Amino acid sequence: MKTNIQPAKGKLGILIPGLGAVATTLIAGVEAVKKGISQPIGSLTQMGHIRLGKRTENRYPKIKDFVPLADLNDIVFGGWDVYEDNVYEAAMHAKVLEPGLLAAIKPELEKIKPMKAAFDKNYAKNLDGSHVKQGTRQQLADAVMEDIENFKAQNGCDRIVLVWCGSTEIYYEASAIHQSLAAFEQALANDDKLISPSMIYAYAALKLGVPFANGAPNLTVDIPALIELSKLTNTPIAGKDFKTGQTLMKTILAPGLAARSLGISGWFSTNILGNRDGLVLDDPDNFKTKEVSKLGVLEDILRPEDNQELYGEIFHKIRINYYPPHGDNKESWDNIDIFGWLGYKMQIKINFLCRDSILAAPIALDLALFIDLAKRAEMSGIQEWLSFYLKSPQTLPGLRPENDIFKQLMKLQNTLRHLMGEDLITHLGLDYYQDLVEVL
């Protein structure tokens, strides 16, 4: 049965806390695509197709022609940052995109000036920006809500979504004040420092029924209090951590090795990067947040507890080093020690010269478009079908995440089919295969 989905009419405001490398690459990219000078490569919503019905039907539309997504021409961007640079200046500073491309869209980018950030330096010690709001946690949340409503009115938006592209915050775990909405609101009123800046944005968005996606590994909406609020205001949420670079490779490769029942005794991953993200991650407390997000992936895919002989002894190590000369062009090396028939050892080496924000920008776009779709389809709470885009997918507490990218894609596609009243695809195909055989 087809779900009743509100049409994507009018403008969609995408508001981004953190107008750094990823956000400016996203915004510049969308503006360049709108002007017809570039292609949205890497974006499933813009370039991807989806099979519908039996293989014999040959129905394979583009996803954006199948589900009612906001059109890129109807998107308006805005955001917050602790630095005052407009999006053109920030994009020049990030050095991801060529100055020539940025010059072609300079007027559009210059117009976007960050609003003052809700910030606490204790959560990102390596940042020294002063474009910040003053006040208690409660006052900051109220001010962010006001920003959202003002932006919506000033830009004539029908709908708003928030995508956190701010720096990775220091490592923290959920504590008592994060366990219920009542406790969280009390802590806001008490100006409790255990509420991180990203949680302030998330709270403000959810309170207004504005969907929120988290591109960083910090907990943010992944706490019972904000899950409760998302259900209360019928708002979809998704997180955590854009799945780019090395982890993308891991979630492509590990399911393949596991599918062939090949053993893995070690997986050593190291990275060098020189952007501001790298600078923030140079602080051990911020790196810990990233490390935890990256480490879970292999365990979830390989399930060592059920596959002792193959993965019981796996040694998984991840390093990230700040190396300014590389800028946003992250380089990663993976050494994978595997073993096959009769325990014979083999090795795989990967050297990925990737561009971090080039991989992250289309993910941020797709998350914004899909979470807006989810809202219009009256889906609320954790949107696990968006795990495809995330390194550390948010699931219901106690539920093991699915990290295998192929299963994640199947789940995403089946969710779209389900929403549009199409048959789910199980890849069984026996029914019609038999019919075809009998005809021959």
Ligand X SMILES: NC(=O)c1ccc[n+]([C@@H]2O[C@H](COP(=O)([O-])OP(=O)(O)OC[C@H]3O[C@@H](n4cnc5c(N)ncnc54)[C@H](O)[C@@H]3O)[C@@H](O)[C@H]2O)c1
CB nearer to ligand X: give 23 or 318.
23
Q: Are 44 and 31 in contact (CB under 8 A)?
A: no
At 41, the amino acid letter reads: I
Least distance (Å) from ligand X to the CB of residue 238?
Answer: 13
CB 50, min distance to ligand X, A: 25
Q: How far is the CB of 84 from ligand X (least distance, A)?
A: 10
Q: Considering beta carbons, is residue 13 or 166 the nearer one to ligand X? A: 166
* Nearest-angstrom CA–CA distance, 218 and 246: 18
Residues written for the chain: 440
Cβ–Cβ under 8 Å, residues 308 and 264:
no
Distance of closest approach, residue 306 Cβ to ligand X, in angstroms: 29
Q: Which residue is nearest to ligand X (CB)?
A: 20
CA atoms of 234 and 237, how far apart (whole Å): 10
Residue keyed to tokens 């998302």: 230
Of 326, 244, 317, 334, nearest to 279 by C-alpha is 326
d(CA 196, CA 179): 14
**DSSP letter at 169?**
P
- Minimum CB distance to ligand X, residue 185 (Å): 20
Nearer to ligand X, 128 or 305 (CB): 128
Helix (H) or strand (E) holding 408: helix 405-419
**167 versus 408: smaller Cβ distance to ligand X:** 167
Residue 114 per-residue DSSP state: P
Q: From the CB of 33, what's the least distance to ligand X, in Å?
A: 19
Beta-ladder partners of 52: 59
- Measured from the CB atom, the residue of 112 and 338 that comes closer to ligand X is 112
Q: Return the number of the residue (23 or 162) whose C-beta is nearest ligand X.
A: 23
Residue (32 or 124) nearer to ligand X, CB: 124
Residues making contact with ligand X (CB under 6 A): 17-23, 80-83, 94, 117-119, 124, 127, 129, 165-168, 197, 215-216, 241-242, 244-245, 275-277, 280, 356-357, 359-360
Dump strand ranges (E) for 86-227. Answer: 115-116, 157-164, 212-214
For the packed helices 224-232 and 181-189, what is the interaxial angle rounded to 10 degrees?
Answer: 110
Q: Minimum CB separation from ligand X for residue 107, in Å?
A: 22
